[in-house]
């Protein structure tokens, strides 16, 4: 546990820590500010506007997160290397289970579209628009790095590491549920009742990632790897079907 997360509320039972939650909120604000600043600097007419602003916001925030929690990043990396065989095996099994689980969510999305004619979730449509905003290879590289590397690492650190650190004395289901709900709400691009129908598409994967994090003995690199692999497959599939989107 880092020295930055030592302020405790409800000291006798150590049920809740304030600092990790404040850092979580601070990183959300930092990403928003970083994105706005980069957007203002390059201008909306820039060919790489969407990809560069998204990439920059994530990168700036991740660098700060690693700087603040460098001991946790180093400790988890050391543990993963020390138990490399178990690390890979657990990550592989977790990803296979997640892939099967995701297939059910895809079926759910199809039903929602069929019943309500809503198309894709606003967040997903936004990603499609980001990808289609340019056909330049640099644009695709920036988006690929953001979607496959930066976003999964930052999200797992924020929604798993920080939220779980905020509830050290509670049953793991409490931070798992809290983190998955916040994870789902954070992926809502629009606050409309129709978007609530898509909420399970993000809340349930968030809960799955929370289980992976917990059962890996809170090793961030396992959830990093599972989340990154999932996003890689999604990104490749989107790129392969770009003309039909």
Percentage of the residues of the chain whose pLDDT score is greater than 70: 90
pLDDT given for residue 12 in this prediction: 45
List, for residues 107-158, the tens digit of each pLDDT value.
888 788 778 776 766 677 778 888 887 888 999 999 999 999 999 999 999 9
Q: Which pLDDT does position 111 carry in this prediction? A: 84
Residue 114: the pLDDT is 76
pLDDT mean across residues, the chain = 88
Specify the higher pLDDT residue, 2 or 60.
60
pLDDT score of 88: 96
Say if CB 31 and CB 155 are below 8 A apart.
no
63-80 mean pLDDT? 97
Model confidence pLDDT, tens digit, residues 23-59: 999 999 999 999 999 999 999 999 899 999 999 999 9
> For 151-194, how does the pLDDT look when each residue is reduced to its tens digit (9 = 90+)?
999 999 999 999 999 999 899 999 999 999 999 999 886 666 77
The pLDDT-based confidence of 224 (bands split at 50, 70, 90) is: very high
| pLDDT above 80 for 232 | yes
Residue 10 predicted with pLDDT over 60: no
Residue 8 has pLDDT above 60, yes or no: no
pTM for the whole thing? 0.88
Percent above pLDDT 90 for the chain: 65
What integer is the mean pLDDT of 90-94? Answer: 96
pLDDT, position 131: 84
Q: What is the pLDDT of residue 245?
A: 61
Write the DSSP assignment of 107-165 as a string of letters.
HHHHHHHHHH---S-HHHHHHHHHHHT---HHHHHHHHHIIIIIHHHHHHIIIIIIHHH
> For residue 1, what pLDDT is reported?
43
CA dihedral of residues 147, 149, 152, 158 (deg, nearest 10): -120
Average the pLDDT over each of 66-70, 92-96, 99-103, 154-158 and give the range with the smallest value.
99-103
Average pLDDT over residues 79-98: 95
- Give, to the nearest 10 degrees, the angle between helix 137-145 and helix 49-68: 30
């Amino acid at each position: 546990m880092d020295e930055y997360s030592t302020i405790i509320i409800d000291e006798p039972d150590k049920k809740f820590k304030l600092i990790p939650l404040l850092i979580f909120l601070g990183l959300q604000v930092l990403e928003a500010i970083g994105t706005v600043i980069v957007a203002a600097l390059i201008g909306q007419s820039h060919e790489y506007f969407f990809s560069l602003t998204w990439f920059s916001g994530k990168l700036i925030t991740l660098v700060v997160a690693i700087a603040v929690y460098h001991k946790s990043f180093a400790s988890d990396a050391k543990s993963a290397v020390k138990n490399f065989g178990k690390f890979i095996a657990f990550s592989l099994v977790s990803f296979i289970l997640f892939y099967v689980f995701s297939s059910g969510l895809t079926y759910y999305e199809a039903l929602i579209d069929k019943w309500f004619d809503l198309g894709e979730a606003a967040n997903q449509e936004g990603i499609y628009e980001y990808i289609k905003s340019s056909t330049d290879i640099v644009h695709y590289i920036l988006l690929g790095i953001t979607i496959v590397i930066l976003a999964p690492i930052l999200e797992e650190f924020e929604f798993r590491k920080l939220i779980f650190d905020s509830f050290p004395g509670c049953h793991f289901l409490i931070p798992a549920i809290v983190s998955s709900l916040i994870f789902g709400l954070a992926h809502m691009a629009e606050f409309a009742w129709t978007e609530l129908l898509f909420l399970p598409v993000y809340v349930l994967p968030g809960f799955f990632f929370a289980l992976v994090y917990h059962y890996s003995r809170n090793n961030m690199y396992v959830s990093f790897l599972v989340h990154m692999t999932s996003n890689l497959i999604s990104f490749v599939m989107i790129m392969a079907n770009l003309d039909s989107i």
